[in-house]
Structure 1
């Protein structure tokens, strides 16, 4: 399940590990301060990763919240083709810097329509969840700014993963991710 291209899954459904981690975090962690910023247990993450790779559906309630959150980020980071695909990387970045919100969102909707369906479905699922996490910012200290900082490197990366390009593009990628969260209703509905 990990390190597998999304288009190689059997359907356009959300991968089980993503479904389960989101369900579990909604149930247990929305008010947990530092959600997604505090790292999980390396041994728990390895154990869970192994179970999912073996086709198991482990009960996540027995694991630390931060390990479950880290597992979700790890799944996204380990995708050989990022959620916002390599071929759309430049156009995603170009649209993120459009200053007029309506124009930017119109361009983003067009790009989202060009994504493989599984990529778009997973991005929608993730952003729905992150929007909900952000609604509990008062408790978890994870508003759109912090969430976009944590998630943008896992969702958008250049095929040429040089450090200089990653650093140079990071602020734009963060802006894009924040737009996905704050303008979710406009972009995905």
Structure 2
């Protein structure tokens, strides 16, 4: 018994698990697969788990029965969240800023698919009881990107796509040189225009984008260790924050805009304090 418990996750140790030997037709709250015969059940919150899943449990015991209804976290509008910044965004970013900001290629390197799926299932089963302290930071970065990809309306709304791209077109972009101003616009004017467009975003989109850009700025402050510059993060996040299918169905046009999308994200990261103000 002690040997088995030592392999459990910290979250699993908060539960009062008992072994169930009889026939069980319940879903494991970690992998979401059915437990057909045997398994573990918490006497306090009624969480069920496979024996093999106890080492990856991330849901803390809430001392009262868990709701049998899942909370939809992925694929719902930002406006459906009560918080100014969705809890999943704050939780993933916070954990990465504590344990993952020095990891080489953070956000560029994908997480392990099986672990990412388990984390996503756990978020829907017990969203406000999640403990990510033992989760791999690369898995958390993947969960965060999946959250933004699944939004029905992208965080940078499709109606503001053209204004953002028009600002980027006024700048020349070179992979071998830093951002340089063109004859059309100065950097100060560019920042002012971006700020004006950002202020036209819906309130929750603006606050979430602000939180994310300040977080990514923190990541770039440690680029000597993680090798993730604002440009590299722009390459990673541009396809996630700009949605191809949402702009007049013109996917090919947006493919040609990829460098401009990257430039916009790069500018938002580098000048987040001027554009958004202090972090929300």
When normalised by structure 2's length, the TM-score is: 0.64
1:65 aligned partner: 137
The structure with the largest alpha-carbon Rg is 2
- 2:230 is aligned, of 144, 159, 164, to 144
Counterpart residue number, 1:91: 163
Aligned equivalent of 2:272: 184
SS at match of 2:121: helix
Which of 84, 87, 107 is 1:36 aligned to? 107
Tell whether 2:253 aligns with 1:165. Answer: yes
Q: How many residues align?
A: 188
Q: Which has the higher strand share?
A: 2
Are 1:51 and 2:122 an aligned pair?
A: yes
Report the secondary structure of 1:17's partner residue: helix
Unaligned runs of 5+ in 1: none
Map of 1:154 onto structure 2: 240
CA distance in 1 between partners of 2:195 and 2:251 (Å): 29
Deviation of the 1:18 alpha carbon: 0.5
Relative to its length, the structure with more helix (as a share) is 1
Distance 2:145 2:94 in 1: 15
| Residue 166 of structure 2 corresponds to residue 103 of structure 1 | no
The answer to whether the Cα contact below 8 Å between 1:39 and 1:66 also exists between their aligned partners in 2 is yes
The answer to whether residue 78 in structure 2 is matched with residue 6 in structure 1 is: yes
* Bigger relative CO (Cα 8 Å, ≥ 6 apart): 1
Cα displacement (A) at 1:166: 3.1
Structure 2: stretches of 5+ with no match in the other structure: 1-72, 172-185
Taking the aligned partners of 2:146 and 2:91, their CA distance within structure 1 comes to: 14
Decide whether the 8 Å contact of 1:89 with 1:157 is kept in 2: no
Deviations 1:24-78, CA, capped at 9 Å, x for gaps:
0001011110101111011111111112223423211222221011111111111
* TM-score, normalised via structure 1 length: 0.94
Distance 2:256 2:124 in 1: 34
Structure 1, 91-100 or 103-112: larger mean CA deviation = 91-100
